[in-house]
Structure 1
């Protein structure tokens, strides 16, 4: 069974910076064993499916217990994160809770707000009003903190590439393929602040500028010595060796920011067209599924 066609932007915070009792719960999760990043999408899918086949079905992960635990976690060693001279990461271990309950609730609120009534009724095992109240309550609880994972289906939001150093891409093309970047939080915030400033002056407040603003605000909610990871996740299943070689997305996005700052809109157009041609092929597959 293929992995979900999902890309991820994750934050790993130092375990020591979490408050009790969450710090102890995360420590226990680490001792039980962390999720391999190669398996993260499948683990998330499995947790969700188990909620739906339980008796009775659960609306959200963790509904069957009085005190939901932290669930699966990912972990990084600070030495796995490239840093600029002024940036610091750690101390380790760095922990990324998958936050499946909060993310599922947020996704459900979005679904209930956009889906047609017949689809909502067919997809839910409980009345729509009850589902909306329950999911909104979980989202309100989550708002005191921040989910550690953002996800995108079928494509990677181009503004995400602003956060990374194009030269530090990790590409694994063996049996278990992976494409990812890791970056210190301080470096990610510095790059996204510049990108937002340049885009706002060049193209206004909407579109990519809005995504950069929202992503920057999200990053500000985490410890400054955290790490950020951009992971293609299950999207690599749609890519072949030629696609890996042709993928210059991070280079193109950074070149667009430089060209905007220099007022070279011809370069901006050429780079954007190349990005659109590359990613539209993958995004179009959503329409065939």
Structure 2
């Protein structure tokens, strides 16, 4: 399944995602039953990724030309974590066996597993993506490709979701052709990392952190940049990330999923380079900050240039 997923992405834009997994109690009561069912199915992570990819390709080619998801097949990613430290969790899709262990003297104690959930929320995310597209420089073209009738029909779906479950936090952020530098501020090289390989290539890399640690790091970055470089675009990006993460349960886990771009850049020192760049700016070390930026640019600008390649 993992190999099929990698081949299925061939020719598609590199897409990376930032996800937040929350405990069951963070969700509305009416949603918790479907989340429990997702956790009990024990689907592999590769199966979930493949199903989502196939569904997205199917929407592009289905009769009528409506590209929007209906929400009838919305998927849920499930993360099993140890009871004491979400950051030391395994990344099995829902298996309690991926929970951590704890050493106590010569004894090795198995900690109880806890499941965290990240619903795909495709209806809400598709609406946000369409709005951003309409407001961007390609808005006129988007209006031709996505007729007003289809946009109005999808707005009805969004209204139904909000009426059924209330205003919801959007658990996933996506980026194509590269990872925003601001995302790396949430992680450090010592954070738990999974490298998924198939056929001699890296399918993806996933790095995760507790939301508490991620918030501490991003707030630290905001404080430094606000004093040292208040005009830097990254300050606004980090501020928005802080506001987004503050919406979630304090026992959540944040995950950066590189996607297929991992095969081009991993091993990746971007989290360290972003941290060093911010620290150098705070210390007035412009040479060090410039060096950190050059390392980031040499790694990621070639990836972003692929978006304009023919």
TM-score, normalised relative to structure 2: 0.77
**In 1, distance between residues paired with 2:208 and 2:26?**
20
**In 2, distance between residues paired with 1:35 and 1:133?**
35
Q: Where does structure 1 lack aligned partners over 5 or more consecutive residues? A: 63-67, 84-89
State the 1:32 CA deviation.
3.7
State the 1:55 CA deviation.
3.7
| Secondary structure in structure 2 of the residue aligned to 1:77 | strand
Matched, 1:236 2:280: no
State the 1:226 CA deviation.
0.3
- Taking a change above 3 Å as real, the CA distance of residues 35 and 111 of structure 1, as seen in their structure-2 partners, is farther
| Secondary structure in structure 1 of the residue aligned to 2:170 | coil
8 Å contact kept, 1:155–1:235 = yes
Give per-residue Cα distances to partners, 1:99-150, cap 9 Å, x unaligned: 11111111111122225466235422xx33x344445566674982221110
- Which deviates more from structure 2 when the two are superposed, residues 248-257 or residues 50-59? 50-59
In the other structure, the counterpart of 1:266 is 287
| Secondary structure in structure 1 of the residue aligned to 2:87 | coil
State the 1:229 CA deviation.
0.5
**In 1, distance between residues paired with 2:231 and 2:140?**
36
| Secondary structure in structure 1 of the residue aligned to 2:247 | coil
Matched, 1:223 2:245: no
In the other structure, the counterpart of 1:98 is 120
**In 2, distance between residues paired with 1:91 and 1:17?**
17
Query: How do 1:177-216 and structure 2 match up within 5 A?
Result: 177=202, 178-216=204-242
8 Å contact kept, 2:192–2:207 = yes
8 Å contact kept, 1:102–1:139 = yes
Give per-residue Cα distances to partners, 1:25-74, cap 9 Å, x unaligned: 212233344451x4665433322232343344434211xxxxx4571111
**In 2, distance between residues paired with 1:259 and 1:148?**
32
The CA RMSD over aligned residues, in Å, is: 2.7
- Which deviates more from structure 2 when the two are superposed, residues 175-184 or residues 139-148? 139-148
Give per-residue Cα distances to partners, 1:187-231, cap 9 Å, x unaligned: 111111111111121111551001101111111111010000011
8 Å contact kept, 1:51–1:61 = yes
State the 1:234 CA deviation.
1.9
- Which deviates more from structure 2 when the two are superposed, residues 50-59 or residues 186-195? 50-59
**In 2, distance between residues paired with 1:205 and 1:44?**
39
8 Å contact kept, 1:106–1:139 = no
- Taking a change above 3 Å as real, the CA distance of residues 11 and 118 of structure 1, as seen in their structure-2 partners, is closer
- Taking a change above 3 Å as real, the CA distance of residues 207 and 117 of structure 1, as seen in their structure-2 partners, is closer
**In 1, distance between residues paired with 2:166 and 2:277?**
34
Find 1:113's aligned residue among 124, 129, 135: 135
Find 2:176's aligned residue among 153, 157, 162: 153
Matched, 1:30 2:51: no
| Secondary structure in structure 1 of the residue aligned to 2:208 | strand
Judging by fraction of residues, say which structure has more strand. Answer: 2
In the other structure, the counterpart of 1:165 is 188
Query: How do 1:60-79 and structure 2 match up within 5 A?
Result: 60-62=68-70, 68-69=71-72, 71-79=74-82
Counting matched residue pairs gives: 269
**In 2, distance between residues paired with 1:185 and 1:135?**
32
8 Å contact kept, 1:70–1:97 = no
8 Å contact kept, 2:134–2:140 = no
**In 2, distance between residues paired with 1:268 and 1:214?**
22
TM-score, normalised relative to structure 1: 0.82
- Taking a change above 3 Å as real, the CA distance of residues 121 and 164 of structure 1, as seen in their structure-2 partners, is closer
In the other structure, the counterpart of 2:97 is none
